[in-house]
Structure 1
Amino acid sequence: MPRGAGDGAARAAERLVSIGTVLTRLREEFPEVTISKIRFLEAEGLVEPRRTASGYRKFSPEDVERLLRILRMQRDHYLPLKVIREHLDAVERGGESAAAQPVPAPRRRAGEEGPWEHTATEPPEPPPPVRIGRPELLAAAGVGEGELVEWESYGLLQPGPDGGYDPEAVTVAKLVAELGRFGLEPRHLRAVKAAADREAGLVEQVVAPLRRHRNPQTRAHAEATAQELAGLSVRLHAALVRMALGTRPQ
């Protein structure tokens, strides 16, 4: 390969940055942006970073600029991602700057005051959460009514206003029963529940601004962010317990 071509490839590689660096740059203008948001935009086909041999994402300056355009169009025009993608693709095909291309005109919803909303098809609101009844919970967890009543008295499980339970209650019930076989009673597990509530509160602090956003795409992204943070919190908790016990996973 000619030396000039090799030097050009090396210079191009030097311009690539990690997702962490991209996040820092985006947060200068969009403090609420998270890594999961960037991954979400990638999954939706709005940006295509390169991948290293190890699978790490590497972003070019053009990728960063494209992300900034996407976020600005969401913030300023409340455009659905499909419209944004079509707009940016048209700009790239035409070889013109984004500023020279007209953004689809938004308008107010009928009888509504406040920020402009685009009339293009928006993603539907997420369906209501699935609930399970008390008999289904008892059957799935393999426990009796007396055990469930005791666990509820210690706040380990609680039905919702409709009398139903979150499906995750089945997992909680099974784990509480399993820990009971080692002599750990519900009263011993109140500290675990309190710690979980505090962790959930931290997650809520992060995603609450996204959930209140008028843009349905942003609200949908809030749920993905909450799930990712919850997973990271669980992994951290497990690692801290292992470290406190002085053990390592086998």
Structure 2
Amino acid sequence: MPRTPSGGSRAGGTSAGAGRSMSIGTVLGLLRDEFPEATISKIRFLEAEGLVEPERTPSGYRKFSPDDVDRLASVLRMQRDHYLPLEVIREHLDAPARGADVRMPAPGPAPELLDATAGGPSRIAREEFLEEAGAGEDDLVEWEAYGLVAPADDGCYDRESVAVARLVAEIGRFGVEPRHLRAVRAAADRQAGLVEQIVAPLRRHRNPQTRNDAEATARELAALFVRLHAAFVESALRSPSP
């Protein structure tokens, strides 16, 4: 089976015969040699984000060129090796067309590993939580009372809770009290529940690859929900008040 290229740009070598158009299923088969976590939903997501633009048949079917496959491989490789956001990846891919020279950062550890190395353990005690969040004991008691942050059974907090606490404190500068944010937390919990409901059948599948696909699908759905929420808020703010 042909393999995706080891290079990093659309102008590089092709992963299939020159000029041959491929269905999304064929593209997935090519990509999975190097990226076993790739899914059809991931390819569609990258297309929706404008990272690849396959042609469409009159009936609406996607037809990918070898260059499209190379570009997808480059995107997945930059996500895997450099943990770059899509906006930065797009800048790297489009740089040659602009005549720009955008340097690729050196590969580093995954973000979740940074907490265990440079940033300390992934779970921290209450005192350290207060210090990193820049909060007082009274603040934390109030946040916990309204369900905005919560310790684990051992009394420690994960670092995601630190990020939540900092955002709650930042929003508080505008006069928003923790009780006002209960609805935001409840909405997030409902969205997480919906994501879990969608991916639950994949998590229970006997095929290990399908179970791996569940994790990628959950992350994609979570990112889409965040974007949808932001779009709803922006749309509501632009709409005239009744």
- Please tell me the TM-score bracket, short chain as reference: 0.5 to 0.7
User: Is the CA contact (8 Å cut-off) linking 2:54 and 2:63 kept in structure 1?
Assistant: no
Q: CA deviation at 1:173?
A: 0.2
Deviations 1:178-203 (A, max 9, x none): 11111100111111111111111111
| Alignment size in residue pairs | 153
1:41 aligns with 2:35: no
1:191 aligns with 2:183: yes
Deviations 1:59-91 (A, max 9, x none): 669x9xxxxxxxxxxxxxxxxxxxxxxxxxxxx
- 2:130 corresponds to which of 133, 138, 154: 138
Question: Which residue of structure 2 lines up, in the alignment, with residue 212 of structure 1?
Answer: 204
Q: CA deviation at 1:236?
A: 0.7
Q: CA deviation at 1:42?
A: 6.9
Q: CA deviation at 1:177?
A: 0.3
Q: CA deviation at 1:220?
A: 2.5
Q: CA deviation at 1:136?
A: 2.4
Letter in 2 for 1:44: F
Backbone CA RMSD of aligned residues? 3.9
Give structure 1 stretches of 5+ with no counterpart: 1-11, 27-36, 64-126
Q: Which moved more, 1:220-229 or 1:152-161?
A: 220-229
User: Is the CA contact (8 Å cut-off) linking 1:210 and 1:222 kept in structure 2?
Assistant: yes
User: Is the CA contact (8 Å cut-off) linking 1:210 and 1:218 kept in structure 2?
Assistant: yes
User: Is the CA contact (8 Å cut-off) linking 2:124 and 2:158 kept in structure 1?
Assistant: yes
Partners of 2:167 and 2:182 lie apart in 1 by 14
Partners of 2:224 and 2:238 lie apart in 1 by 21
Partners of 2:185 and 2:153 lie apart in 1 by 20
Q: CA deviation at 1:246?
A: 0.2
The verdict on how the C-alpha distance between 1:225 and 1:153 changes in structure 2, with shifts beyond 3 A counting, is: same
Give structure 2 stretches of 5+ with no counterpart: 1-18, 56-61, 67-112, 114-120
Question: Which residue of structure 2 lines up, in the alignment, with residue 150 of structure 1?
Answer: 142
Q: CA deviation at 1:137?
A: 1.7
Partners of 1:16 and 1:130 lie apart in 2 by 43
Higher relative contact order (CA 8 A, sep 6+): 2
Q: Which moved more, 1:238-247 or 1:158-167?
A: 158-167
Question: Which residue of structure 1 lines up, in the alignment, with residue 154 of structure 2?
Answer: 162
1:237 aligns with 2:234: no
User: Is the CA contact (8 Å cut-off) linking 2:204 and 2:211 kept in structure 1?
Assistant: yes
The verdict on how the C-alpha distance between 1:232 and 1:40 changes in structure 2, with shifts beyond 3 A counting, is: farther
Partners of 2:190 and 2:136 lie apart in 1 by 29
Please show how residues 56-205 of structure 1 align to structure 2 within 5 Å: 56-57=53-54, 130-205=122-197
The verdict on how the C-alpha distance between 1:131 and 1:38 changes in structure 2, with shifts beyond 3 A counting, is: farther
Structure with max Cα Rg: 1
Letter in 2 for 1:245: L
Q: CA deviation at 1:225?
A: 1.5
Letter in 1 for 2:231: A
Q: CA deviation at 1:167?
A: 1.7
Question: Which residue of structure 2 lines up, in the alignment, with residue 119 of structure 1?
Answer: none
User: Is the CA contact (8 Å cut-off) linking 1:40 and 1:221 kept in structure 2?
Assistant: no
Q: Secondary structure at the match of 1:214?
A: coil
